[in-house]
Structure 1
Amino acid sequence: MFHNHDSILVQEYASLGAPYLAEVPATPLRTEPALLHLNTQLAADIGLNADELASKPGIDVLGGNAPWPGYASRASVYCGHQFGVFVPQLGDGRALLLAEVRKGKQYRQLQLKGAGPTPYSRHADGRAVLRSSIREYLASEAMHALGIPTTRALSLTASADPVFRETTETAAVVCRVSESFLRFGHAEFFCYTNQLEALRNLLTWHIEQHHPEIDLGNTDASFHQGLLQWLGTVIERTAQMVAQWQAVGFCHGVMNTDNMSLLGLTIDYGPYGFVDGFDIDHICNHSDHQGRYSYRNQPRIAHWNLYALAQAISPLLPDSKETLQNLLDNFADIFQTRHSALFANKLGLPSEQGEAANTLIENTLKFMHEHTLDFTRFFRSLSALNPTASVAGNFAAWQQSPFFPLALGDEAQVNNAQTWIEQWLALAGQTPVEPGVWRTRLDRSNPAFVLRNHLLQNSIEQAQKGDFAEVNRLYKALSDPYTAEKLAPEYTSEPPDWAKTLVLSCSS
């Protein structure tokens, strides 16, 4: 009933059944769920009828109070390394596969987060709170608008049901959308429980479903070759995704292997954050006492997680240790190439700058770190510069930018900024570009808006009082983060001092 004429309900992942999936119904909320937001564009894109979803029957389904017609919800089992420590069984503790939708060649899974306990809840209640649900709903769409691979968000529903965390909060349910929710931890689970045939079958299904370019063939040799080709793709996608995180100052916060997507998508938005004043060792998760998942460490941890994935599939690849190592060794080059290209674009550098560009990128981040310059505002302000002007002329023009990131009363900061402009001009000035084209290009590489924690906190506090207007305003703003003229001034200004005291943890 929720489908448009061009989409159908399918049971392609569901048909795998045990041992991968357990049928489990959602647990109805005691108080009637309300639809706080519906992503009508995403609904249309995947072939769903937004009007039907916004009706009473649709809200009941999206809130977990009724099943999707013709589909039995399911939870999947996996394990993972959490903060580097192996945990032998995890799984969808508060997530349920709600439906699978196919629109032509496009296939999507819908998943409810916060719809009650599953066999993998480990004595937890399976619920999510309004606070973290707003964060996930907005963040996944913000990342999508920034062009970063991510799971998506279809709907946000909430009720007055109490949920007990550090304090008593209220319940909410997010309906997430993705091509797949399979994680590194799925492969780890079937490896470490010695279910190697099940592991082979799961990976075969996944590769055939999502990588039609890979031919697994009919022999062990062709399967081995296809599996190695697939791992190379996962390594490449993961490296490129993390490079994109770094380029917008995004910190995931909990890069456990069970939070790493086999499709190279940003998944599981917990204590994430966009860096404000730049600190290369920024930690966004209060629970991360050792800084394992700091901004600086994200590429290294992604590489470590890929080692864990390679280890998990290695029993299916006899005599392949050297080949696996060679594939993993490619990570650094893939990451560095994408990282350099992204930051060169952010700085407006001509292509093919090589080591000179990498040196300037490194010096730029050092300069930002030394003076704790606002990450987003610094890069956005660069379109005020002119590659053909002098250092003095550029510094004067820079001050006119509404995003000017410096404190003019700080003499050391100003002197270092002028030195930096000199270094930048040495490269940026090599290929003169018409100023209008230059500004447009930089403004398309550097967002004016990112979903900062203090903005989220404001919207959450209002929502907890029953006012969802700010959630809606933020949602509208994040859909076009590059057009500053459309953004409210408070969305692009320097964060207030109290933003530095915000504490985020894994609790949700």
Structure 2
Amino acid sequence: MEESMEKQHTGWNFDNSYARLPQFFFTQVNPTPGRAPKLIVLNEAVAEALGLNASALRGEEGVATLAGNHIAEGSIPLAQAYAAHQFGHFNMLGDGRAILLGEQITPRGERVDVQLKGSGRTPYSRRGDGRAALGPMLREYIISEAMVGLGIPTTRSLAVVTTGDVIYRETELPGAVLTRVAASHIRVGTFQYAAQYGTLEDLQALADYTIERHYPEAATQAGSDRTDQRYLRFLQEVIKRQARLITKWQLVGFIHGVMNTDNMAISGETIDYGPCAFMDAYDPATVFSSIDTHGRYAYGNQPRIAVWNLARFAETLLPLLHGDEEQAIKLAEGALSEFSTTYQNAWLKGMRAKLGIVGEEEGDLALIEGLLSLMEKHSADYTNTFVALTFDKLEESPLFVTPEFAPWQEQWQARLGRQQEERSASQELMCRSNPAIIPRNHRVEEALEAAVEHGDYSVMERLLAVLANPFAHALEQEAYASLPEPSACAYQTFCGT
């Protein structure tokens, strides 16, 4: 049978394996149409990777699909059910303002979720309107694309469209829909939902599905115990992947802002860019989220919170790990204990690279911690400090003229001098490990203000262009590395709901 004109023209190639799980896990629901959809930004690189025709997506039917006004052939729209610990408190949640259109099978045979965020009410919306404002959707687009440039696993943004509707928060705001692409939207909270409200069969169906989709190696490793041990291997692999992800966050000063268990993707991607931001002055206590009043999700707490979230994930798997609960707990605890080793090894390797250090010496940790302590004491900018060290521009920070810095620098230079590698090789390593720029909070806000308040998207386009390759250390990036003007008010971010 010939493909439909829509499939041929646009390239949608939907499958819906999640919809084949027990209906306990979702509710089929169509997006709420917008009054007058308009395409604001289209990520052509993502469109190409998905096998989509960018020109067709810019057309009337393409924009209608991205707004939720038109359901593409093969799509089975649904809202996923999940639960979560939010700031430590357990709640029933679900997609309250997002609808999964389906899973696009890409030209490379990969399966990825295509989801509309801000597409209207669902059965899980509670008292929400299911809508999203333009500013937060553009913010997720900018930050997620910056993460791609930084080499950090992340969901992607295919497009942002305005709906032509007004939504109400503290004031009237233009409504918008973000099309998000993800390896999947299965979360720790999805497993919590299955364990709390479903049957053992439901839980096992979800685990088997997730293993097949994301961790097939957990089921196919050789050995006579491969069936019995697959859930333990699954848990171990999720823990390793999360440890590596959090390491990457820490190395660039990224603060997620709301590490609730529904915001931890089982795939190991960064998901949900609500109150996130990047740290300027180094301080482990840095918090940007307006709702994190006690610093639960501060920069320095992120590894610990990741373990806490993974412990909640491990709890859901206990019935699958072993028939005896005591033995299951021991297996889970053993797996969780590996997080610290994986994280610490990856973090040390990353920090050594940021300082141009090759190989390992016993004193490396003390050397790294010594620099971080000086940076915290003197409120030195995290990103720019490492860039200045990379290019020996020690006049660019007050930190470098403090009495404490000279002894540290002497130790660092001595450490580099004990390496067989040439100094140029160390500098190359530092260039690859220290981004010239991050999406500075004031630059992101500047782009959002121009877009939302004045309809000027050129500021955002220029920002995205320089963020695409943050390790280029190009001349045009220098202006984006400058710090914001001093302010009496601390920078805050908001969840956008």
Q: Provide the TM-score with structure 1 as the length reference.
A: 0.91
Please tell me whether residue 450 in structure 1 is matched to residue 455 in structure 2.
no
Aligned counterpart in structure 1 of residue 21 of structure 2, from 11, 16, 19: 16
Are 1:379 and 2:371 an aligned pair?
no
1:358–1:65 distance in 2 versus 1, CA, 3 Å: same
**Counterpart in the other structure of 2:447:** 459
Match of 1:333 among 328, 341, 353: 341
Take 1:498 and 1:5, find their aligned partners in 2: how far apart are those partners? Answer: 48
Supply the AA of the counterpart residue of 2:368: I
Which of 259, 275, 298 is equivalent to 1:294?
Answer: 298
Partner amino acid, structure 2, of 1:372: S
Give 1:58-457 correspondences, 5 Å limit. 58-87=62-91, 89-103=92-106, 104-215=108-219, 222-317=226-321, 318-319=323-324, 320-353=328-361, 355-385=362-392, 398-399=394-395, 404-406=396-398, 414-431=402-419, 433-457=421-445
Tell me the amino acid that sits aligned with residue 90 of structure 1: L
1:72 deviates by 2.4
User: Counterpart of 1:343 in structure 2: which amino acid?
Assistant: M
Instruction: Indicate conservation of the 8 Å contact 1:303/1:328, yes or no.
Output: yes
Local SS of the residue matching 2:314:
helix
| Alignment size in residue pairs | 485
In the TM superposition, what whole-angstrom CA distance separates every residue of 1:202-261 from its partner, at most 9, and x where no partner exists?
1111111222222279x9964440010010000000011001100000000000001001
Letter in structure 1 aligned against 2:93? L
Give CA deviations for 1:426-457 in whole Å, capped at 9, x if unaligned: 31221154444333321111001101111111
Q: Structure 2: which 5+ runs fail to align?
A: 1-5
Question: Does 2:480 align with 1:480?
Answer: no
| Per-residue Cα deviation, 1:311-341 (whole angstroms, up to 9, x for no partner) | 1111222221111110001110011000000
Aligned equivalents of 2:265 and 2:176: distance in 1?
Answer: 24
Over aligned residue pairs, what C-alpha RMSD do you find? 2.1
Give the whole-Å Cα distance in 2 for the aligned partners of 1:221 and 1:312. Answer: 21
- 1-structure distance, mates of 2:307, 2:399: 37
SS at match of 1:96: strand
Which residue is 2:46 aligned to?
A: 42
Conserved? CA contact 1:2–1:53, under 8 Å? no
In 2, the alpha carbon distance for the partners of 1:192 and 1:473 equals 47
* Distance of 2:359 and 2:7 partners within structure 1: 48
Secondary structure of residue in 2 paired with 1:236: helix
Amino acid aligned to 1:322: K
Provide, for residues 460-500 of structure 1, a one-character-per-residue CA deviation record: whole Å limited to 9, x for no partner: 11111211111111111111111122534331112222496
Distance 1:129 1:190 in 2: 31
Q: Is the 8 A contact 1:247 1:342 kept in 2?
A: yes
* CA distance, structure 1, for counterparts of residue 243 and residue 62 of structure 2: 38
Unaligned 5+ residue runs, structure 1?
386-396
Query: Residues of 1 paired with 2:376 and 2:7: CA distance?
Result: 50
Question: 2:486 matched to which residue of 1?
Answer: 497
Amino acid at match of 2:369: E
Paired with 2:40 and 2:277, the residues of 1 have a C-alpha distance of: 23
Q: Deviations over 1:361-392 (max 9, x none)?
A: 1111111111110011011111223xxxxxxx
Q: C-alpha deviations, 1:153-173, integer Å up to 9, x for none?
A: 111111342111122211111
Name the amino acid aligned to 2:405: A
Q: Partner letter of residue 181 of structure 1?
A: H
Deviation, 1:135, is 1.0
Deviations 1:16-47 (A, max 9, x none): 250112110000112x1211111111111121
